[in-house]
């Protein structure tokens, strides 16, 4: 029982990321009818917002500290971040410590702008063009985005640690009444899971309870009719694209402490998120979320020693295998509407 | 000629001549001159031109004709390479069985992957092929490379070691890939004044195969089969209501293009007996898509042009560094020179992928028909200018006539 | 015994009963029209005939064989060709190629890997295709890109594509929908011409009375998913039931 629970928990962080990316992909596909191959790159850009802010906050100048001496007895030169200089040492240090959560404030406007510019400047001109062209142009954009990041941040992963308050693990097993050390789980992963649940709930609430959301949902069902009603659906779709980009960016920024971001992380997640969308059912938002968590958990279950000794490397291919089986036996996915994209 | 019509035959002869004379044509600048950096007549670069040409020609049979966009063709390229290296390890360094096996292996995998992927069309098909390719990559990179069962040798890549059996190897044969004793590395260098030209046997083996494959693709384009594939792209519903089953047609196209990719992979391994998983990555799949659309998807010559174009500029761009840039812009005032170098810097050297991505977008946005269409457009502009002139005369003549009537 | 026998066909979409107990018999070498007001189930019936939909119950027999559960290409190979409401042609191909494809389908069946011959060298088929193009008066457009033609020409081309297969039954789905009067008349002439030159059975689904009465030998009136009457055109005109069905629609 505790072993199963541990596997479920282990799958949650990746599952959350898959779910958030898949949610955005589905929103874009459902509203605009476009398959966005650059969505993974948006996730990656989000993660690098955390790196950017961390570096920005850490920008230092050199001061001569009279209180410290080097071994020759001269005053020591130390690096002092401006932020500590401006706000005082303690506040400054804790701002730097909290750079990842703070980066959320940066990520949201950045991603909204990127999303807006992308839709207005690029995607918009591809609504009427074949799907192949949409795939190709967003694919090109994904390469460009990741190469730009690589140019500025290099090819190696960069650490972006979580605030020290969230470092370490908690013994969840004890809390739930299992024996000690049975289920030890990193705190930040719990935070990430909670964070993604909040965002998913937020997106659903937004679609469910606002007029805007109602129009978008109607547009997902029948774009032309809503357009004929005189509702400016295009403008709403632009905003929707921005939101989808922001969701991907938020998924990325909070993921940075879990896995040190590198420039190609986006594509790795994108391919799996596509699989998630397909398994969940193209165009189904709950399906995308459900499939995201399910596949994340499945992947972690396949990573257990038992699984990997039975079939070496099963953890690397399990998701693809599941996707192929789902597509062949139930083409519309777990929760897809009948008749949508079945051929 | 050869069952081709006049226009195709001419195209074929042009490709034939260009390929055979490539060692001359690609080394137009004398050795040691400042322009020698633009030469491309090195054996390994020329080999890549024709090998990726084969890859793109095959991809075009699927994408260009049927419109099915596969994002996983690099998987077949990689499988071909692995198959070839295994022949080198177990049997012989002779390239003939290696290439045959790589085509067969890729064909079989294409049959299975195509059978499953082609049950869906449109974006679903693209995603499925991408998933298959990523799965193949994961298999090659780690899953099939464990102590119990090492098929791919993981990160290091599969290569030939001195203790490999090579049952058919004889001491008299070269200790590297060869064609019945003719080593692929043997090169005859012709020196004329300042110029040098390399005639490499490996290149000519690949070139001969590419010419054959190009011929085959022309025949496929002009065949009833090719016409059916174009009809699938144009209107699949009509095709079904005309009594034709589109599924086996697309599957056949998929397998044929998979075999082309396997052949290209086998040749890559034959020129350099090494197979690594990175050959199967999605970037490699994206590259062949770009070659095809850059040249012109659905045209005969487009993929060959696209492959040559990309491999040439990849080579040039990767070689350029800031020093070279400073030389180029030396004629500018100092400030301008530095500015230009700073602007161009991100796109060269290791920045080639950035250039590639931008190129990708530009081609899709502005030139969906690729270089071939671009060329035709330019041609039309010139012709229209002629016609406009004659059109104006005709108009003037009509006006002169009208009052008299 | 007709060439096409529809017996007791029912089709439901959720709560909507689109077809209920449809019986229809199309006799060989006649032009049989199926008319009815909007929503009468004409298109549903047609889709059941070509394999796009499978009826819930009932049978559809063509030439003594059931068509149910067969794929569109199999049904076509049995001898049923279909003309769509908006002309469905291969827009990226030339007129000649458009005609050659059905020729190959007729000769070689649903699939053949003939990847090495040149299609232009198939003398017999090219001649056959040219003959049909002369028939529909399009031979001068043989090398034209078919997407760039007028709608009327596309319609002609689509008919030619069907005719070159020498189908036993030609299904026409509102062939004049959305056409101007002149174009409609041209289409009527074309169909009459086709009928006069060869033995062919046609089944027309049509909304336009003018077309129906100019062409049909026999008419079935469909209303609310059920056949109301089946009779000769003269008798249909005065039939009070038919008038009621149509007037009922007009009154709405």
| Neighbour subunits, B (≥3 Cβ pairs < 8 A) | A, C
| CATH number of the structural domain spanning residue A64 | 1.10.3470
The answer on pLDDT for B396 being more than 70 is: no
What pairing do the DSSP bridges indicate for beta strands A184-186 and A169-171?
Answer: antiparallel
Average pLDDT, chain A: 85
C-alpha B72/C-alpha B289 separation (Å) is 10
Residues B92-112: what's their mean pLDDT?
95
Best mutation target among B72, B143, B310, B345 (most A Cβ atoms within 10 Å) is B143
C-alpha A216/C-alpha A210 separation (Å) is 10
C-alpha B242/C-alpha B236 separation (Å) is 10
pLDDT band at B3 (very low <50, low <70, confident <90, very high): confident
Task: Look at B139 and A271 and tell me if their CB atoms are within 8 Å.
Answer: no
Containing structural domain, residue A307: 2-329
Give residue-wise pLDDT tens across range A48-65.
Answer: 999 999 888 888 888 777
C-alpha A78/C-alpha B273 separation (Å) is 54
DSSP string, A146-161: HHHHHHHH-SS----P
Q: Where are the beta strands (DSSP E) in chain C?
A: 4-13, 16-26, 31-35, 57-62, 65-66, 80-83, 169-173, 201-205, 218-223, 226-231
Element (H, E) at A61: strand A60-69
Q: How many CB pairs under 8 A join A and B?
A: 121
Task: Look at A274 and B116 and tell me if their CB atoms are within 8 Å.
Answer: no
Quote the distance between the C-alpha of residue C71 and its chain's center: 17
Q: CA-nearest residue of chain B to C147?
A: B234
Pick from B133, B105, B74: nearest CA to A320? B133
Q: CA-nearest residue of chain C to B240?
A: C73
Å from A144 to nearest chain B CA? 5
Tabulate helix, strand, coil % of chain C (nearest 5): 40, 25, 35
Task: Look at B244 and C105 and tell me if their CB atoms are within 8 Å.
Answer: yes
Tell me how far CA of residue A330 lies from CA of A322, B68, B131, B248, C12, in angstroms. Answer: 11, 22, 17, 22, 23
Enumerate the H helices of B67-94 as residue ranges. Answer: 73-90
Q: What is the DSSP letter of B274?
A: E
Residues in chain C: 252
Q: Which residues of B touch C77 (CB under 8 A)?
A: 243
Please name the member of B116, B127, B361 whose beta carbon is closest to the beta carbon of A141: B361
C-alpha B319/C-alpha B311 separation (Å) is 12
Neighbouring residues of A118: CB distance < 8 A, sequence distance ≥ 6: A38, A141, A241, A245
User: Contact, A80 vs A67, CB < 8 A?
Assistant: no
pLDDT band at B245 (very low <50, low <70, confident <90, very high): very high
Residue scoring higher pLDDT (B371 or B324): B371
| Neighbour subunits, C (≥3 Cβ pairs < 8 A) | B
pLDDT band at B401 (very low <50, low <70, confident <90, very high): very low
User: Contact, B66 vs B321, CB < 8 A?
Assistant: no
Q: Which residues of B touch A343 (CB under 8 A)?
A: 120-122
Assigned domain for A343 exists:
no
Please name the member of C97, C101, C117 whose beta carbon is closest to the beta carbon of B223: C117
Neighbouring residues of B320: CB distance < 8 A, sequence distance ≥ 6: B37, B348, B349
Q: What is the DSSP letter of B141?
A: I
Tabulate helix, strand, coil % of chain B (nearest 5): 70, 5, 20
Q: Which residues of A touch B358 (CB under 8 A)?
A: 140, 144
Q: Do chains A and C touch (3 or more CB pairs under 8 A)?
A: no
Å from A180 to nearest chain B CA? 35
Sign of CA pseudo-dihedral B373, B375, B381, B382: negative
Q: Which residues of A touch B127 (CB under 8 A)?
A: 35, 274-275, 278
Q: Is C76 within 8 Å of chain B by CB?
A: yes
Assigned domain for A259 exists:
yes
Best mutation target among B131, B288, B291, B349 (most A Cβ atoms within 10 Å) is B131
pLDDT band at A40 (very low <50, low <70, confident <90, very high): very high
Residues in chain B: 405
Please name the member of A131, A142, A274 whose beta carbon is closest to the beta carbon of B130: A274
Say how many C-beta atoms besides its own lie within 10 A of residue A31's C-beta. 22
Q: Is C166 within 8 Å of chain B by CB?
A: no
What pairing do the DSSP bridges indicate for beta strands C169-173 and C80-83?
Answer: parallel
Domains recognised in chain C with CATH numbers = 4-79+167-251 (3.40.50.300), 91-151 (no CATH)
What pairing do the DSSP bridges indicate for beta strands C201-205 and C169-173?
Answer: parallel
Domain segments of chain B as ranges:
6-288
Q: Is B238 within 8 Å of chain C by CB?
A: yes
Element (H, E) at C133: helix C123-135
Element (H, E) at A330: none
Assigned domain for A339 exists:
no
C247 φ, ψ to 5°? -65, -40
Quote the distance between the C-alpha of residue C149 and its chain's center: 21
User: Contact, A276 vs A283, CB < 8 A?
Assistant: no
How high is the pLDDT of residue A343?
A: 43
What pairing do the DSSP bridges indicate for beta strands B178-179 and B182-183?
Answer: antiparallel
Q: CA-nearest residue of chain A to B283?
A: A143
Residue scoring higher pLDDT (B5 or B147): B5
Q: Which residues of B touch C110 (CB under 8 A)?
A: 243-245
How high is the pLDDT of residue C38?
A: 78
How high is the pLDDT of residue B386?
A: 67
pLDDT band at C95 (very low <50, low <70, confident <90, very high): very high
Q: Which residue has the tokens 């190009």?
A: B214
C-alpha C9/C-alpha B399 separation (Å) is 68
C-alpha B311/C-alpha B301 separation (Å) is 16
How high is the pLDDT of residue A224?
A: 67
| Neighbour subunits, A (≥3 Cβ pairs < 8 A) | B
Q: Is B220 within 8 Å of chain C by CB?
A: yes
Å from B76 to nearest chain C CA? 22
Å from C53 to nearest chain B CA? 14
Task: Look at A144 and B357 and tell me if their CB atoms are within 8 Å.
Answer: yes
| Domain count for chain A | 1
Q: Is C92 within 8 Å of chain B by CB?
A: yes
Which of A5-9, A142-146, C160-164 has the lowest average pLDDT? Answer: A5-9
C-alpha A26/C-alpha A243 separation (Å) is 12
How high is the pLDDT of residue A41?
A: 94
Q: Which residues of C touch B227 (CB under 8 A)?
A: 93, 97, 100-101, 104, 119
Average pLDDT, chain B: 87
Please name the member of B127, B143, B283 whose beta carbon is closest to the beta carbon of A316: B143
Assigned domain for A145 exists:
yes
User: Contact, C45 vs C220, CB < 8 A?
Assistant: no
C-alpha B389/C-alpha B392 separation (Å) is 5
Q: CA-nearest residue of chain B to C113?
A: B225
Largest Cα–Cα separation, chain B = 97
pLDDT band at A341 (very low <50, low <70, confident <90, very high): very low
Residues C118-138: what's their mean pLDDT?
89
C-alpha A268/C-alpha A252 separation (Å) is 13
How high is the pLDDT of residue C251?
A: 43
Give residue-wise pLDDT tens across range A211-233.
Answer: 888 887 877 777 667 666 666 77
Say how many C-beta atoms besides its own lie within 10 A of residue B50's C-beta. 28
Residues B180-209: what's their mean pLDDT?
88
Q: CA-nearest residue of chain A to B136?
A: A317
Q: Is B5 within 8 Å of chain C by CB?
A: yes
B9-15 CB contacts, 8 Å cutoff, 24+ apart: B11/B218, B11/B300, B11/B301, B12/B214, B12/B215, B12/B218, B15/B211, B15/B214, B15/B301, B15/B304
Task: Look at B123 and A131 and tell me if their CB atoms are within 8 Å.
Answer: yes
Q: CA-nearest residue of chain A to B117?
A: A324
Assigned domain for A334 exists:
no
Q: Which residues pair with A31 in a beta bridge?
A: none
Residues B327-338: what's their mean pLDDT?
82
How high is the pLDDT of residue B387?
A: 62
Q: CA-nearest residue of chain B to A282?
A: B124
Which of A172-181, A312-321, B83-92, C134-143 has the lowest average pLDDT? Answer: A172-181
Q: CA-nearest residue of chain B to A333?
A: B124
C-alpha A274/C-alpha A21 separation (Å) is 9
Residue B405 token pair: 């009537």
C-alpha A286/C-alpha C181 separation (Å) is 51
Say how many C-beta atoms besides its own lie within 10 A of residue A217's C-beta. 15
Task: Look at B351 and A136 and tell me if their CB atoms are within 8 Å.
Answer: no
Q: Which residue has the tokens 């909070």?
A: A254
Task: Look at B228 and C104 and tell me if their CB atoms are within 8 Å.
Answer: yes
The answer on pLDDT for C116 being more than 90 is: no
Q: CA-nearest residue of chain A to B346?
A: A151
C-alpha B230/C-alpha B240 separation (Å) is 13
Pick from B284, B255, B220: nearest CA to B52? B284
Å from A275 to nearest chain B CA? 7
Please name the member of B346, B351, B368 whose beta carbon is closest to the beta carbon of A133: B368
Neighbouring residues of A326: CB distance < 8 A, sequence distance ≥ 6: A278, A279, A333, A334
A278 burial via Cβ count (<10 Å: 0-12, 13-18, 19+): buried
Element (H, E) at C113: none
Å from C52 to nearest chain B CA? 10
Tell me how far CA of residue C219 lies from CA of A155, A233, C24, C161, C227, in angstroms. Answer: 75, 46, 10, 26, 10
Q: Which residues of C touch B239 (CB under 8 A)?
A: 90, 101
Assigned domain for A342 exists:
no
Q: What is the pTM of this model?
A: 0.90
Task: Look at A142 and B357 and tell me if their CB atoms are within 8 Å.
Answer: yes
Residues A111-124: what's their mean pLDDT?
92
How high is the pLDDT of residue B251?
A: 97
Q: Is C148 within 8 Å of chain B by CB?
A: no
User: Contact, B299 vs B372, CB < 8 A?
Assistant: yes
C-alpha A53/C-alpha A96 separation (Å) is 9
Q: Is B9 within 8 Å of chain C by CB?
A: no
Pick from A12, A6, A40: nearest CA to A275? A40
Q: Which residue has the tokens 């001061």?
A: A63
């Amino acid at each position: 029982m505790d072993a199963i629970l541990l596997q479920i928990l282990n799958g949650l962080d990746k599952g959350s990321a898959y779910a958030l990316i898949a949610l955005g992909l589905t929103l874009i596909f459902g509203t605009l009818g476009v398959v966005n191959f650059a969505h993974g790159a948006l996730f990656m850009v989000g993660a690098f917002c955390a790196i950017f802010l961390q570096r920005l906050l850490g920008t230092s100048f050199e001061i001569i500290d009279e209180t410290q001496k080097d071994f020759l007895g001269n005053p020591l030169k130390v690096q002092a971040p401006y932020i500590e200089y401006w706000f005082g040492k303690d506040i400054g240090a804790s701002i730097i410590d909290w750079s990842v959560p703070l980066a959320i404030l940066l990520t949201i406007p950045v991603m909204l702008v990127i999303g807006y510019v992308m839709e207005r400047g690029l995607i918009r001109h591809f609504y009427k063009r074949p799907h192949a062209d949409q795939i190709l142009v967003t694919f090109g954009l994904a390469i460009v985005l990741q190469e730009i990041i690589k140019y500025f941040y290099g090819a190696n992963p960069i650490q972006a640690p979580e605030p020290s308050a969230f470092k370490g693990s908690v013994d969840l097993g004890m809390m739930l009444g299992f024996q000690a050390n049975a289920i030890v789980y990193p705190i930040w992963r719990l935070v990430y899971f909670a964070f993604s649940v909040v965002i998913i709930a937020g997106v659903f609430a937004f679609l469910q309870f606002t007029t805007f959301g109602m129009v978008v949902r109607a547009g997902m069902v029948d774009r032309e009719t809503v357009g004929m009603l005189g509702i400016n659906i295009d403008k709403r779709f632009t905003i929707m694209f921005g939101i989808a980009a922001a969701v991907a960016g938020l998924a990325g920024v909070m993921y940075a402490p879990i896995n040190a971001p590198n420039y190609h992380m986006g594509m790795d997640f994108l391919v799996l998120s596509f699989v998630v969308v397909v398994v969940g059912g193209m165009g189904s938002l709950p399906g995308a979320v459900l499939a995201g968590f399910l596949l994340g958990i499945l992947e972690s279950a396949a990573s257990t020693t038992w699984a990997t000794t039975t079939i070496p490397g099963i953890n690397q291919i399990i998701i693809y295998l599941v996707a192929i089986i789902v597509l062949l036996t139930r083409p519309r996915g777990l929760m897809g509407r009948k008749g949508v994209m079945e051929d | 000629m050869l069952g081709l019509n006049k226009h195709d035959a001419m195209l074929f002869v042009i490709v034939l001549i260009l390929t055979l004379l490539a060692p001359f044509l690609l080394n137009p600048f004398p050795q040691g001159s400042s322009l020698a950096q633009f030469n491309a007549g090195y054996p390994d670069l020329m080999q890549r031109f024709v090998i990726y040409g084969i890859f793109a020609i095959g991809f075009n049979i699927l994408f260009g004709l049927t419109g099915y966009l596969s994002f996983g063709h690099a998987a077949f390229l990689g499988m071909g390479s692995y198959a070839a290296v295994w022949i080198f390890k177990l049997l012989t360094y002779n390239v003939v069985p290696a290439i045959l096996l790589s085509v067969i292996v890729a064909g079989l995998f294409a049959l299975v992957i195509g059978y499953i992927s082609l049950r869906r069309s449109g974006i679903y098909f693209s995603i499925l092929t991408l998933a298959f390719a990523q799965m193949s990559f994961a298999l090659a990179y780690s899953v099939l490379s464990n102590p119990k069962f090492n098929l791919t040798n993981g990160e290091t890549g599969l290569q030939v070691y001195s203790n490999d059996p090579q049952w058919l190897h004889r001491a008299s044969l070269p200790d590297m890939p060869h064609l019945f004793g003719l080593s692929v590395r043997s090169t005859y260098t012709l020196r004329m004044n300042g110029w040098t030209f390399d005639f490499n046997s490996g290149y000519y083996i690949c070139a001969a195969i590419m010419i054959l494959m190009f011929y085959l693709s022309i025949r496929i384009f002009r065949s009833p089969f090719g016409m059916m594939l174009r009809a699938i792209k144009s209107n699949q519903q009509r095709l079904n209501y005309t009594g034709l089953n589109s599924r086996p047609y697309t599957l056949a196209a998929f397998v044929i293009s998979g075999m082309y990719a396997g052949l290209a992979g086998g040749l890559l391994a034959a020129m350099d007996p090494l197979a690594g998983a990175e050959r199967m990555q999605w970037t490699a799949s994206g590259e062949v898509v770009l070659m095809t659309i850059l040249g012109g998807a659905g045209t005969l010559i487009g993929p060959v042009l696209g492959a040559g174009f990309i491999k040439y500029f990849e080579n040039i761009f990767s070689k350029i560094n800031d020093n070279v840039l400073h030389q180029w812009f030396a004629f500018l005032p100092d400030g301008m020179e530095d500015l230009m170098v700073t602007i161009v810097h991100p796109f060269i050297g290791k920045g080639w992928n950035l250039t590639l991505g931008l190129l990708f977008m530009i081609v899709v946005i502005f030139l969906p028909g690729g270089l071939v269409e671009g060329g035709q457009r330019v041609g039309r502009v010139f012709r229209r200018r002629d016609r406009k002139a004659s059109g104006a005369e005709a108009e003037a003549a009509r006006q002169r006539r009208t009052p008299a009537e | 015994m007709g060439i096409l026998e529809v017996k007791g066909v029912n089709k439901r979409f959720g709560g909507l009963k689109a077809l209920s107990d449809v019986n229809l018999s199309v006799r060989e070498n006649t032009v049989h029209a199926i008319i009815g007001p909007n929503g009468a189930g004409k298109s549903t019936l047609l889709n059941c005939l070509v394999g796009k939909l499978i009826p819930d119950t009932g049978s559809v027999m063509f030439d003594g064989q059931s068509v149910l559960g067969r794929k569109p290409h199999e049904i076509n190979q049995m001898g049923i060709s279909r003309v769509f409401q908006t002309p469905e042609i291969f827009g990226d191909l030339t007129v000649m190629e458009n005609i050659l494809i059905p020729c190959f389908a007729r000769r070689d069946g649903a699939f053949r890997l003939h990847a090495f011959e040149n299609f232009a060298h198939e003398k017999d088929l090219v001649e056959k295709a040219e003959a049909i193009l002369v028939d529909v008066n399009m031979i001068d457009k043989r090398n034209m890109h078919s997407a760039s033609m007028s709608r009327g020409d596309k319609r002609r081309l689509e008919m030619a594509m069907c005719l070159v297969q020498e189908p036993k039954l030609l299904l026409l789905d509102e062939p004049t929908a959305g056409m101007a009067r002149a174009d409609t008349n041209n289409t009527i002439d074309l169909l009459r011409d086709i009928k006069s030159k060869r033995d062919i059975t046609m089944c027309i689904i049509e909304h336009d009375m003018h077309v129906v009465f100019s062409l049909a030998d026999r008419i079935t009136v469909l209303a609310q998913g059920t056949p109301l009457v089946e009779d000769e055109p003269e008798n249909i005109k005065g039939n009070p039931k038919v008038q009621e069905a149509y007037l009922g629609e007009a009154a709405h």
